[in-house]
């Protein structure tokens, strides 16, 4: 099944993936392409609309990213956002200059007034807050364009030439700070581009299953199953397609969260696949004994993962296809087609060259994370897998500070479970993007009952983020933190003190090691 497509031309802005996600959330398929993509390639995709993204450059700089002028005679509607708006004006006879006065530069939340007679703002409030981030100014608007939004500081916040389907906004409708921003994007898609809204995960599932069957035929398929969202959804999709031709190798290194290995195994019992659970806890803990340095931990775990996976792969014999859980942000960030190489090493810790296969299958490579989760629901994966928290490849090994022992891991597993359990009971999961416990190597004096204790300090960590490149610590209500603290010190041996990490990223990282 083919879908209507909107192209997002990338000029280097920080919100480019977010634009694409918002378009897809509106039920319209889109792809992000670099601004250097040849016109012939763009035309072959037959888009119903084009969005120019923002970017850090100035359009009047000779070295700034430009676009093939032929795109303006194509007859396809264009929405320019921030730099994209200025690019539109610059190419069509307007004039863009550096703002000479601070009042003409706008950053952050700005009260904006809209002409709702313009299709882009149809049915939306005439006034709202928009998120500005521009230091350049449209000194002259191109002939044929109307001014359709303004702020106190800027008379030309938005422009349009409705006869040609050209629209430009100086603000960012894709970010949550812009009120009714999604409504504006929806208007562009449906009122201006004539989109039908034919992008659903149900349709994607059926199409992907058919394509996988056609590609694989009667071949053998191998997947390294980590238990994370991406690999689990990829496994479920391929299982639906080829059943017993798929072998999933789940390396249980003993460094997972409470009951996690069992949950993953149970989740895949409904499919007729070869599920191999390599129970390698003793092997991994033996290799990690006495090791405190986090980089050495990572290296040891990566190397042992390869050896265990390789041993299981050899038992299977010749494999025709290797499945990877590459998702769309990996493809975009790789710049062009290199994601298979990047993810093969990322997903399985550095797959050895002599695990031989004909081709890589990446059934999720055009999906964003939220779409992967929705596809998981379509495949009837349990919610605990679909909404699984991000989890580092080395697992709890880098959440136990210092030397690792089974006793420390068991202590951390239970404490981490209590933290997540109380977050769930308070219905706070949607307010934080990653949360976990860290067993520090610091011990301190405490009093429990009538006795003196000398036990470990546990740190709790929770962050809110959109991209994991930066993150803010989560303001968890005190009463929830209190319940977590009381439960852990009463239910978990060897912990007598709880601290909460209130450091954002930067300067800290999300994980401690």
CA distances from 369 to 43, 182, 374, 472 (A): 28, 19, 9, 20
- Neighbour-count burial for 431-470, b at 16+ CB within 10 Å, e otherwise: ebbbbbbbbbeeeeeeeeeeeebebbbbbbbbbebeeeee
d(CA 372, CA 82): 29
Q: Is 427 a catalytic residue?
A: no
Contact predicate 83/107, CB 8 Å: no
Which has the closest alpha carbon to 192: 171, 156, 161? Answer: 161
Q: Which of 31, 174, 260, 378 is catalytic?
A: 174
CA distances from 92 to 168, 200, 487 (A): 12, 36, 65
Contact predicate 80/37, CB 8 Å: no
Q: Is 174 a catalytic residue?
A: yes
Which has the closest alpha carbon to 44: 88, 91, 7, 1? Answer: 7
d(CA 53, CA 391): 31
Contact predicate 76/49, CB 8 Å: yes
Q: Which of 172, 248, 304, 513 is catalytic?
A: 172
Contact predicate 68/78, CB 8 Å: no
Q: Is 85 a catalytic residue?
A: no
Give catalytic residue positions.
82, 172, 174
């Amino acid at each position: 099944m083919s879908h209507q497509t909107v192209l997002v031309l990338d000029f280097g802005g920080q919100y480019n993936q977010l634009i694409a996600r918002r378009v897809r959330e509106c039920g319209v398929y889109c792809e992000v392409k670099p601004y250097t993509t040849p016109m012939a390639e763009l035309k072959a995709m037959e888009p119903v609309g084009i969005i120019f993204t923002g970017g850090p450059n100035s359009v009047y700089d000779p070295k700034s990213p430009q676009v093939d002028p032929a795109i303006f005679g194509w007859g396809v509607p264009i929405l320019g956002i921030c730099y994209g708006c200025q690019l539109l004006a610059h190419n069509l006879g307007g004039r863009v200059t550096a703002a000479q006065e601070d009042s003409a530069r706008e950053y952050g939340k700005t009260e904006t007034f809209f002409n709702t007679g313009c299709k882009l703002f149809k049915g939306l409030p005439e006034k709202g807050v928009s998120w500005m981030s521009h230091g350049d100014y449209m000194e002259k608007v191109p002939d044929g364009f109307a001014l359709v939004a303004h702020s106190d500081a800027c008379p030309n916040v938005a422009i349009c030439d409705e006869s040609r389907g050209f629209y430009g906004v100086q603000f960012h409708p894709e970010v949550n700070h812009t009120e009714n921003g999604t409504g504006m994007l929806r208007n562009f898609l449906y009122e201006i581009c004539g989109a039908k809204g034919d992008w659903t995960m149900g349709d994607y599932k059926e199409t992907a299953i058919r394509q996988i069957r056609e590609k694989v035929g009667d071949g053998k398929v191998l997947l390294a199953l980590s238990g994370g969202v991406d690999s689990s959804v990829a496994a479920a999709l391929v299982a639906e397609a080829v059943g017993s031709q798929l072998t999933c190798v789940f390396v249980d290194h003993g460094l997972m969260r409470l009951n996690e290995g069992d949950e993953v195994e149970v989740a895949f019992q409904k499919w007729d696949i070869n599920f191999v659970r390599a129970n390698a806890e003793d092997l991994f803990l033996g290799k990690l004994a006495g090791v405190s340095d986090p980089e050495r931990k990572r290296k040891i775990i990566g190397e042992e993962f390869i050896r265990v996976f390789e041993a299981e792969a050899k038992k299977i014999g010749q494999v025709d296809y290797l499945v990877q859980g590459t998702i769309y942000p990996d493809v975009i960030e790789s710049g062009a087609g290199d994601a298979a190489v990047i993810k093969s090493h990322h997903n399985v810790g550095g797959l050895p060259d002599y695990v031989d296969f004909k081709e890589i299958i990446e059934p999720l490579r055009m999906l964003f994370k939220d779409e992967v989760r929705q596809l998981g629901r379509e495949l009837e994966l349990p919610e605990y897998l679909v909404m699984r928290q991000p989890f580092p490849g080395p697992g709890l090994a880098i959440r136990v500070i210092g030397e690792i022992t089974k006793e420390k891991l068991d202590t951390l597993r239970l404490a981490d479970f209590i933290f997540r359990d109380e977050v769930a009971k308070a219905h706070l999961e949607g307010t934080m993007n990653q949360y976990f416990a860290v067993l520090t190597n610091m011990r301190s004096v405490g009093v429990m009952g009538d006795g003196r204790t000398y036990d470990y300090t546990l740190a709790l960590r929770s962050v809110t983020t959109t991209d994991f490149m930066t993150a803010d610590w989560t303001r968890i209500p005190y009463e929830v933190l209190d319940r977590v603290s009381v439960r852990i010190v009463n239910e978990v041996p060897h912990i007598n003190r709880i601290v909460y990490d209130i450091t954002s990223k930067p300067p800290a990282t999300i994980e401690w090691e």
